[in-house]
Amino acid sequence: MINFFKNIYWKMAVLMLGCLFVSACENTQRQLDEWKDKRALVEEARQVETLFSQGGRMKAKLNAPLMLRYTGDTVYAVFPQSLHMVFYDSTGKSESSLSALHGTYYESLNSAYMKDSVVVANIYGDTLWTPDLWWDQNTQRFYTDKSIRIYRKGDRIYGGKGMEAKQDLSDIIIRMPTGTIHVPDSVSGGGTNPGIAAPVQVQ
């Protein structure tokens, strides 16, 4: 008889613990869902034009067909359907432009990361191709550790891996050069580029 009651008490205790466990799991899951909902706040905008300024002067303009702005612990905007940027000098004149198939702008860092078919060209016709590229709004410079190809109008084509450059492509440093091809004047159109003072540097 004592064993029988012990058995019942044991089963009841297990049942109560099981109910508590299920209830706790439901609460935990509900809390997780609420937490994820809070973190997944997304603002969507189409046909976007965004201006980047510093010290009251416009530094760049971005156009994109779609922007998704995430407001979690880190605020950032994603441009998943391509983007086009124009960069401006201290006088407000355009000095270069960039296009890419995908981009992300981190508001707290004042930096943008572009990837997939990134192309940068300045007003003199110099052109940079790379798989991905960082743009630092504060320093107005580009960075990448990926492979790069640079065409200097009327001069040479440079190849390498890893690069740092001014956003107008007037000062370029190639970290690991892989080769240089001279472009004859008859092919390039003749003459060197009068708007570029500094040559490409290799390290």
Who's near 105: CB < 8 A, 6+ residues apart? 50, 62, 76, 77, 79, 111, 112
**Quick one: CA torsion of 195, 197, 202, 203, rounded to 10 degrees?**
-140
Statement to judge: residues 133 and 185 lie in one domain: yes
Taking only the tens place, the pLDDT of each residue in 93-136 is 999 999 999 999 999 999 999 999 999 999 999 999 999 999 99
Residues 6+ apart with CB under 8 A from 188: 153, 154, 155
Are 32 and 129 within one domain? no
Q: Are residues 57 and 123 in the same domain?
A: yes
At 96, list the tokens.
């270069």
Range of the domain at 21: 1-40
Query: What was the pLDDT predicted at 98?
Result: 98
Residues 108 and 185 in one domain: yes
Residue 51's region, left for phi above 0, alpha for psi from -120 to 50, else beta, is beta
Indicate the pTM of the whole model: 0.71
User: For residue 147, what pLDDT is reported?
Assistant: 95
Q: Do both 17 and 116 map to the same domain?
A: no
Judgement on whether residues 6 and 52 belong to the same structural domain of the protein? no
Considering the domain architecture, whether residues 75 and 48 belong to the same structural domain is answered as yes
Q: Which pLDDT value is given to residue 27?
A: 57
One domain for residues 12 and 62: no
Please state the domain count of the chain.
Answer: 2
Whether 102 and 15 map to the same domain: the answer is: no
3-state SS, residue 104: strand
Looking at the structure, tell me whether residues 13 and 73 fall in a common domain.
Answer: no
The torsion region of residue 82 among left (phi > 0), alpha (psi -120 to 50) and beta comes to: left
Distances (CA, A) of 61 to 46, 78, 121: 16, 15, 15
Tens of pLDDT, residue by residue over 51-65, are 988 888 889 999 999
Q: What's the CATH code of the domain at 55?
A: 2.60.450.10
* pLDDT of 78 strictly over 80: yes
